Chain A
Amino acid sequence: MEKIKILVVEDDKRILDIYDKFLSADIFEKELVSNGNMVINKYKEFMPEIIILDIMLPGTSGYVILKEIRTSFNDKDTCVIMATSISKQEDVLSCVKLGISGYMVKPFNHRELNDTTLTYFEKDNQTKAIQAREILSGN
């Protein structure tokens, strides 16, 4: 299986470290971005299959980035998972209207990061998600 291309957008380097360590390198080809202003260029260059996108970013917000992907690029297919803090869950509603595959509430359990990501990705690419789970389980 070709690795699943995943772009993670998170301004806090401490949280980005968690994504980097716990998103399995066995199944994911990862690009990590901490600056919201760099996301669109990275998106065009990397063409991710999954984007984990923090809503609350300094500069260009996650909502604005999502809107650009869904409208300016007319990309309705890329699996976008919004990440938000527990106190800001209402912000997800505006993102739902633009089209997202799911959302994660921070702080999340790092042990469940791969499973949660694949669960949302499964809606968009069931075959690849199943293959990825088989790799993770050692089959």
Chain B
Amino acid sequence: MSKNTTVQIDPDLEDLIPSFMENSREEIREMVEAVNNNDFVTLKRLGHSTKGAGRSYGFEDIGEIGLEIETAAVQKKIELVKTSINDLIDYMDNVIIVFE
């Protein structure tokens, strides 16, 4: 995942973005806990919801990472799940949002 990715988001969604970020970080915490418990059912659900939420806001990269987590969870590939979660953390830490 490249550093400082710039993404264009609909200005109508601007006031929702702080809550989106906070809820996404909370979800990452739940993912890490699920990884520690080898809980693939929860990981599948969280990957699925990350995919849907990311795409709903226009964060296509988050949507793709969510899909990767969901798929890896279905296949019970914990290392792939971990890699994708790290990609998600990296993206969240470095994304630059432009509202236009």
| Residues of A bordering B, CB below 8 Å | 11-15, 17-18, 21-22, 56, 58, 85, 106-108, 110-111
Contacts and interface: CB of A to CB of B under 8 A. Distances in A.
Interface of B: 10, 12-13, 15-16, 19-20, 23-24, 45, 48-49, 51-53, 55-57, 63
A12 B49 contact: yes
Contacts of A15: 52-53, 56
Contacts of A22: 12
Contacts of B49: 11-12
Given A58-B45, A108-B56, A13 B16 contact: no
21 contacts: A12-B49, A14-B16, A14-B20, A14-B56, A17-B16, A17-B19, A18-B13, A18-B57, A21-B15, A21-B16, A22-B12, A56-B45, A56-B48, A85-B51, A106-B52, A106-B56, A107-B55, A107-B56, A108-B56, A110-B12, A110-B56
Given A21-B16, A110-B13, A14 B57 contact: yes
A14 B53 contact: yes
Contacts of A85: 48, 51-52
Contacts of A21: 15-16
Contacts of B15: 21
A15 B63 CA distance: 13
Contacts of B20: 14, 17
Q: Which of B48, B53, B63 is packed against the most chain A CB atoms within 10 Å? A: B53
Nearest to B56: A107
Nearest to A20: B16
A95 B94 CA distance: 41
